[in-house]
Structure 1
Amino acid sequence: MYRYSIRQDYIPYYCLLFVYILFSTLFLWKNIFDNSIFSKIKPKTLYLVFSTTVIIIVFLIVHNVDGYTLNVDRWSAMDVGIKSILNGEYPYIAKDHLNQYTSNLPSLFIIGLPFYLLGNVAYLQVFSCAILFYTIQHYFETKKSLYFILLLIISPAFWWEIFCLSDLMSNVFFILCFLIYYNHNFSNDKFKKPILLGSILAFFILTRGIVLVPFVLFFFSDFWKTTLITKTKLIISGLVVFCLLIFMAIHNCENLETLIEYNPLWLQTILLPKYIVIFCLLLPFFISYKIKNFYDDFLKATIFLMILPVVIAFLIKIFQDGLYIILTKKFFDLSYLSMVFPFMILLFINPKKIKIKKQIVQN
């Protein structure tokens, strides 16, 4: 919060920090649902009011924020990428409003396309919040769902993502919703529909490379034990979708030199030495064999492994430039840490100890 509160001049950053810590402490210390006027309202009604209010606020923010005034280009990276594909151009040589190249993978362009056609790719945030709130309420006890929303909205990282029209947390919301749905419905047989699963996994993996972490942790150990025919169906379907999406993104590239120099894989791994990137991607394959419970082992491992490359990159920059320079002057995007917040909140509310609406067999 310090990193981003110092970028405005209206309120002293120490006042913002004090108010935030005070509000968060009061919320965590007092059960507002059992000791307030909220206790007189039916939980489902209260959840509907809270979730609808948050969605409306998110819509108003993304609708009114002028993206061209922002010093963050995630929204325009998606926007120019989609525009390039629709115009029959290679998207990775197009520049956004900050004169930077997009590093979006192909599936993000597809996810953002409906909202681009609506006139604002940032509407994706509204949609992703609605999907998340529905999923949480559908599978968890209403009071736990309320805690999830409240913990989310007291997070500065969530509102930073909204005001900056970023697609990062929306991407994570979709992954989390898919995993919750899959754990509740297919925990006894994860590979019941291997062709469909392979297609879905390939699509999501081509949103951001980091989503490999939760997918490998959740699926790999069971995948290794399944039959050869199931493995084959999943791999082939995944490769077909993977290749089609890659072709969609690169088929307008003029030559091989352009493809090598301007591609999203290079842009997404520029902050880390390649051997560290490889290490961080291989580690989940080994840890997946230790995962026994979705709402405990899986969430903890996902949080650790998703945050690991960001922390390593941050430590490298500190070693090179010093902590004060990194926090106040030289650019380092700490907002990538927000990827783990939805997983952390789910771990914090501890849904494994509540009555689930559908019978669930833990992994």
Structure 2
Amino acid sequence: MNALLNFTRNNRLNSILLFAVYFIINLLFLTKYGIRQSFVPLNILIILFSGGNLLLFSLGKWSWLKKIWTEKSVYLLVTAIAVVYIAMCHVMKDPYKMNIDRWATLEFSLQHWIKGEYIYDTPNFMGNLSSYLPGQLLLSSVFYFLGNVGYLQVSAFLLFSYVIFLEFKGNFHRFLAILMLGISLAYIYEVVCKSDFISSFIAVAAFILFWSRKFKDDYFKKPFLLGIGIGILCLTRSAVIIPLIIFLLNPFIKTSWENKIKFGISFLLTAVILLASVLLPGKSVEHVLQYNPLNLQGQSNKFVMLFFIILSIILSFYVKKIETVFYYSAYILFFVMLSFVSEQYVTLGFSYQNNFFSTTYLAACLPFCIIGYCYTKQKAE
């Protein structure tokens, strides 16, 4: 354990590894989808991509560049990326021909959920079943009513930009974090496909940054509100419990019993209400046991997941600063998803063409990786 702690305290090594994770995730997306086009040879794409990332990694070394980044330039960057993202939400003119069902699964899941119908036993146009947890449906419902679920990714990007402005005072670090997410191939894929996977983890990362800044001295100053927030976030994606454990477990143990009870009641009420909204419409208990999000949502091996949860619990007691939460979360989420992807490749084969979905899971750690990397750049100054 001491070796692991010393490893994360090495700022230089941390910086290199966090950027390496960012690079690997996006490189996998490039190779996975670049191989399906014939306009530019894949090796040329990889060379250009590697050169661009090397330039991105080197930005902090050029001190004269840091003076160029002003608050105005950061706002312009956010605006430009948001506008491009909005345009990308309308790229798929006929999504049924794209052999991508993420947008459809989210839309019909929301339709069934809003009508009070069971969502986990109805296949979409590709024959796949929905695995959405109610917290994600709740967060996505606003954009369904706006007429385009793809706007969820635009809003997630704006939320990410907002908390970056709150947390980092240097315009260079703000610019760097926003740029890294904005040009990430993994996130661009999410925007074009109107997916929602990374947005769940952006919401958690944003919540952690906001809550730690708002209630720096006592995370449980508003236990009822905290319980509601955690109840919703825990029911977006199962893996989000890892950063939330690292962030809140130790403060939860240290807080008063009154706060524990208030938090527990609000958390359980929120979770029960949300779960009831998706499970009660089921035909029978047997039907729910057969068709439910825990069975349908992509999961790592139970023993592997248990190992990482235990590791998260242990590491939570070693968190002294907020940046440590992001370091630990980035690495653990990456290895959790890597174990799942590896398991899928062993099962389905190592061909990218035959395994459309798994690579996306690695992007779960992306917001934590980017924020953690920017912390290392800030500490290096």
TM-score (norm 1): 0.89
Specify every segment of 5 or more residues in structure 2 that has no aligned partner in the other structure, as ranges.
1-29
Select between 54-63 and 117-126 the one with higher mean Cα deviation. 117-126
Amino acid of the structure 1 residue aligned with 2:328: A
Tell me the secondary structure at the aligned position of residue 93 of structure 1: coil
Matched with 1:357 is: none
Shift of 1:331: 4.5
2:322 is the alignment partner of 1:257: no
The whole-number CA distance in structure 2 between the counterparts of 1:31 and 1:293 is: 23
Asked whether the equivalents of residues 152 and 199 of structure 2 are also in contact (C-alpha less than 8 Å), the reply is yes
- The aligned counterpart of 1:101 is 129
RCO comparison, higher one (Cα < 8 Å, 6+): 2
In 2, Cα distance between the equivalents of 1:217 and 1:107?
A: 20
Instruction: Report the CA distance between 1:161 and its aligned residue.
Output: 1.8
CA RMSD of aligned residues (A): 2.2
Structure 1 residue 103: Cα displacement: 0.6
- 2:344–2:358 CA contact under 8 A, matched in 1: no
> Given the alignment, which residue of 181, 204, 228 partners 2:210?
181
1:162 to 191, 215, 220: 191
State how far apart, in whole Å, the 2-side matches of 1:320 and 1:306 are. Answer: 21
Matched, 1:336 2:361: yes
Q: Does 2:106 match 1:78? A: yes
Name 1:359's counterpart in structure 2: none
Judged with a 3 Å threshold, the aligned counterparts in structure 2 of structure 1 residues 83 and 320 are, in CA distance, closer, same or farther, namely: closer
- Cross-structure match for 1:347: 372
Asked whether the 8 Å contact 1:317–1:326 carries over to 2, the reply is no
| Gap regions ≥5 residues in structure 1 | 355-363
* Further displaced range: 61-70 or 103-112: 61-70
1:45 aligns with one of 52, 67, 72: 72
CA contact (8 A) 2:345 2:355 kept: no
1:216-295 to 2 correspondence within 5 Å? 216-269=245-298, 271-295=299-323
Shift of residue 33, structure 1, vs aligned partner: 8.3
TM-aligned CA distance change 1:109 to 1:330, over 3 Å? closer
List per-residue Cα deviations over 1:97-131 (Å, max 9, x = no partner): 32211111001111111211121111111111112
1: CA distance between counterparts of 2:77 and 2:280?
Answer: 45
CA deviations 1:1-55 (Å, max 9, x no partner) are 212211223322112111111122233335698656x956x71111111100000
The equivalent residue for 2:333 is 306
Output the TM-score relative to the length of structure 2: 0.85
Whether the aligned pair in 1 keeps the contact of 2:177 and 2:370 (CA below 8 Å) is yes
Q: Residue type of the partner of 2:239?
A: I
Cα distance change of structure 1 residues 309 and 49 upon mapping to structure 2, 3 Å threshold: same
How far apart are 1:321 and its partner, in Å?
A: 5.9
Partner of 1:136: 164
Kindly provide the CA deviation profile for residues 121-149 of structure 1, in whole angstroms up to 9, marking residues without a partner as x. Answer: 11111111112112212331222100112
Which letter does structure 2 place at the counterpart of 1:62?
C
Distance in 2, matches of 1:32 and 1:55, equals: 28
Which residue pairs with 1:123 in the alignment?
151
Aligned residue-pair number = 348
**Deviations 1:70-93 (CA, angstroms, capped at 9, x unpaired):** 333332221111111223310111
Hey, what's the Cα distance between the residues in 2 that align with 1:72 and 1:87? 25
Q: Amino acid of the residue matched to residue 237 of structure 2? A: R
Are the aligned partners of 1:78 and 1:108 in contact in 2 as well (CA < 8 Å)? no
Partner of 1:358: none
SS state at 1:91 partner = coil
Q: Distance in 2 between matches of 1:53 and 1:32?
A: 25
What CA distance in whole angstroms lies between the structure 2 residues aligned with 1:343 and 1:182? Answer: 15
Query: CA contact under 8 A between 1:173 and 1:342: conserved in structure 2?
Result: yes
Residues in 1 aligned to 2:252 and 2:196: alpha-carbon distance in whole angstroms: 30
